[in-house]
Structure 1
Amino acid sequence: MHGVHEAGVPGVFGEVRDAGRTWRGACGVADVTTGRPVESGMRQRVGSITKTFTAAAVMRQAERGRVGLDAPIGDYLPRLVPGERGRRVTVRMLLNHTSGISDYLPYAFPSLRGMPAVPDVSPGSLDDNRFRRFRPAELIEMGLTAPPAGEPGGPAGVYSNTNYLLLGRLLEHLTGTTAEECITRDVIERAGLRHTEFPVGPHIKGPHSRMYEALYGLIDPPRDYSVYDMSWVGPAAALVSVMEDLNRFYGKLLAGEIVSRSSLEQMQRTVPVRALDGSTIDYGLGLQKVTTPGCGTFWGHEGTVWGAGTTSLTRADGGRQMSVAVNLIRWNKADSSGRPQPHPIDGALSSLYRQAMCGGQDAPAPA
């Protein structure tokens, strides 16, 4: 953690669990102006880690027979997803990003269109939308009217937040409550999480760090976006949590205590998915698979929102867990062609993850 801080991250904190032992640590500052130190128990906007919670809530509805994973989404939301697309896109395709539905983010944040290549990107949309209250339906419409990202049900997927906003509307249709209420009742409370919640309004309750967005060097010095209306992501990425809760959640999920063993097996069937940064990830139903040479297979998710990054991974046997948060994101400055370039933070974080996941400095780096 000291190496990550020295490389340029203001604050980093996390928790590692192994065979009944728990280590918590933090390094750096939560506020670069006051020097307030970062602490291991601080709350964090955990971004797309929210997707595992949403997927688990959908799986619990499937276990009750209220929804079929291979049923067309148009059977449940005919007005939102009408016509041929509603007939071809299934619930499973939304969960594993093989729906072919495009992400709405470039349309909700037009000044960011083109990321991660950044020659024409500017931070204007970040400030314009700080207190904007989006309706899920308008974001979904942006994604549905955009050019398709691919054919429904293809062998590979394209990561899209639109999929998970649709799953949020599906949960509302099935339960008669908001998606946030359903996920809280069926997943967060079931897991016994005490510091995990969907925010109400733009502020985070409880002790937390400021969250600094660099936007590939376009915001210099990085700007604090810890105060932000999270309606732009909702059940796709809005959760606030702590590292202890994340480890507890993924531990219980992989132990079959949140969804059934058969549901967990479904969640762990992966396809290659192109992530928002252009990389390819192994993605199941709301779960990412990470393979480490010599250290085993890990399951979990990573998440970023403006100014905050979080990674939570649990080894397949549940024996070792890692949850790490940073309060600076998109630190890689772009070259003259607009492509983000390597930064010392990259190697420092890789070293931290290696030790946290594998237990030693000499362990091979995760793939």
Structure 2
Amino acid sequence: MRAAAAVAVGALAAGVLASPAASAAARPDEVRQGLDALVGSDGVPAALASVTDREGHTRTYTAGVGDLATGAKVPRDGQVRIGSNTKTFTAVVVLQLVGEGKIGLDDRVDTHLPGLVRGEGIDGRRITVRQLLQHTSGLPNYVKYLADEPRYYAPHELLDLALQHKADFAPGRKWAYSNTNYVLAGLIVEKVTGHSVAEEIDRRVIKRIGLRHTYFPAPGDATIREPHPKGYDRDATGAPLDVTEFDPSWGWAAGQMVSTSSDLNKFLSALLAGRLLPAAQLAEMRTTVPAEYFGPGARYGLGLVSKPLSCGGVYWGHGGSTTGYETRGGATGDGRAANVAVTIQPPDKATMRHAENVVDTALCR
């Protein structure tokens, strides 16, 4: 359904203060200014953010409109589809299983899924679990070959799409982002535990640290459960197109989840604080290789990206791109956290740089 053109995309909604301690700031709020610019200058329908400082004070922000057809406000800390942030959740579950001795990072894929991964230059007897989590397996990215049709995709169907194409490179030789790696990681979790990856993420991560607004949609669930801004794509003329409701199964363990900016901050802060992984597995997760795909100076660990901050040091997160939504953000080791979401996908690269700049501003101020 095409969004009504009569509603101004540039309309702004005031940020919402979640902590009284933050209200004393007299200088202009640069995070709010950044979100306003994303709406007013970059033209995204809505932008949302949540920022937590070293003292644990949290502030949430909104800008734009939540529904272009009605002009409805953007819900405070509304749910969004978080795309590839899902990979970090999946990686945490795998690494918990490593800590329990049920999976080895240097296990071959065939150890757990014998005979499943074969193709031109592709052999599951040569690919390790570590290479899946770090995107060094050489497996082609199935997303490149998806048909443009909204329907349910089974995980094995996604894998089969990838296996019809030759390997990008020999395992361990290079780094290249591929969602196929995390489909396989999810299948290994299911084989080892006997439960769905959704159940394991829910039990081991979501419930464990009390993420009240985060979930892995069930098969066929095209809705977003709680208050949320609508998500948009662009039609052939460039006009915004409402794509909020769709079956997200094409992302599965690589990108299916729904959350809020505040829950993502809580998740990443808990992860870095050692509340989800033993020290040895967290150290493995933070052992990185260069990944300029995520920007200058970016490095990729095991489902976790480090990016340099303009004020020094790095922050850890992932980011996500999926139908209707883009998210960027992360946390630092000293308790700071920030996440930004915009409600159109795909935005141009300049827009995403601006969103990343808002994250940097939030973490550095």
Which residue pairs with 2:334 in the alignment?
318
> Structure 1's 350 and 54: CA in aligned 2 closer, same or farther, altered over 3 A?
closer
Match of 2:284 in 1: 266
Question: C-alpha distance in 2, partners of 1:351/1:69?
Answer: 34
> After superposition, where does 1:342-353 map in structure 2 within 5 Å?
343=350, 345=351, 348-353=354-359
Q: 1:4 to 1:192 in 2, by over 3 A?
A: same
User: Which of 34, 37, 47 lines up with 1:3 in the alignment?
Assistant: 37
Is 1:210 aligned with 2:230? yes
Q: Deviations over 1:36-86 (max 9, x none)?
A: 111232101000000000000000111111010001011110132259711
Equivalent in the alignment of 1:337: none
Q: Offset of 1:350 from its aligned partner?
A: 4.6
**Does the 8 A contact of 2:329 with 2:359 survive in 1?**
no
**Which runs of 5 or more residues in structure 1 are unaligned?**
110-124, 333-341, 360-367
Q: Which residue of 2 aligns with 1:327?
A: 343
Change (3 A) 1:274 1:79: farther
C-alpha distance in structure 1 between counterparts of 2:186 and 2:196, whole Å: 8
Quote the Cα distance in structure 1 between the aligned partners of 2:286 and 2:117.
27
Q: Distance in 2 between matches of 1:249 and 1:299?
A: 11
Q: Is residue 2:364 matched to residue 1:358?
A: yes
Cα shift at 1:353: 2.5
Deviation at 1:220, TM superposition (A): 1.6
1:64 corresponds to = 100
Asked if the contact 1:73–1:89 (Cα under 8 Å) also holds between the matched residues in 2, the reply is yes
Q: How far has the Cα of 1:278 moved from its partner?
A: 9.6
Q: In structure 2, what is the Cα distance between the partners aligned to 1:190 and 1:323?
A: 21
Number of residues of Structure 1 aligned to a counterpart in Structure 2: 325
Q: TM-score normalised to the size of structure 2?
A: 0.85
Cα deviation for residue 320 of structure 1 reads: 1.1
For 1:22, the equivalent position in structure 2 comes to 58
Contact 1:38 1:209 in 2 (8 A): yes
1:209-228 to 2 correspondences below 5 Å: 209-214=229-234, 218=236, 220-228=238-246
- The equivalences for 1:112-127 within 5 A come to 125=148
Identify the match of residue 148 of structure 1 among 161, 167, 185: 167
SS of 1:304's equivalent in the other structure is strand
Local SS of the residue matching 1:157: coil
1:245 match: 263
Give CA-to-partner distance per residue, 1:315-346, whole Å, 9 cap, x none.
1x2321101111012233xxxxxxxxx65x35
**Could you list the runs of 5+ residues in structure 2 that have no partner in the other structure?**
1-34
Whether contact under 8 Å (1:4, 1:352) holds in the other structure is no
Say which SS state the counterpart of residue 158 (structure 2) adopts: helix
CA shift digits 1:94-131 (9 cap, x unpaired) = 0000000010012113xxxxxxxxxxxxxxx1xx2x2x
Instruction: Give distance in 1, aligned partners of 2:61 and 2:288.
Output: 32
**Could you tell me which amino acid in structure 1 is paired with residue 346 of structure 2?**
R
Contact 1:43–1:241 under 8 Å retained in 2: yes
Q: How many angstroms apart in 2 are the aligned matches of 1:143 and 1:279?
A: 28
Find 2:316's aligned residue among 292, 295, 299.
299
Alignment partners' CA distance in 2, 1:309 and 1:37: 19
Q: 1:114 — aligned with what? A: none
1:231 and 1:348 mapped to 2: Cα distance?
A: 29
> Residues 179 and 325 (structure 1 numbering): CA distance in 2 closer, same or farther, change over 3 Å?
same
User: Does the 8 A contact of 2:106 with 2:129 survive in 1?
Assistant: yes
Query: TM-score scaled by structure 1?
Result: 0.84
User: Does 2:141 correspond to 1:103?
Assistant: yes
8 Å CA contact retained: 2:216, 2:257: yes
- Determine the C-alpha separation between the residues in 1 that align with 2:278 and 2:204: 13
> Contact 1:30/1:38 (CA < 8 Å) preserved in 2?
yes
Moved over 6 A (4+): 277-280
Q: Name the stretch that deviates more: 350-359 or 239-248.
A: 350-359
Decide whether the 8 Å contact of 2:297 with 2:307 is kept in 1: no
Q: Which residue of 1 aligns with 2:126?
A: 88
Q: Percent identity over the alignment?
A: 38
- Cα distance in 2 for residues equivalent to 1:80 and 1:204: 33
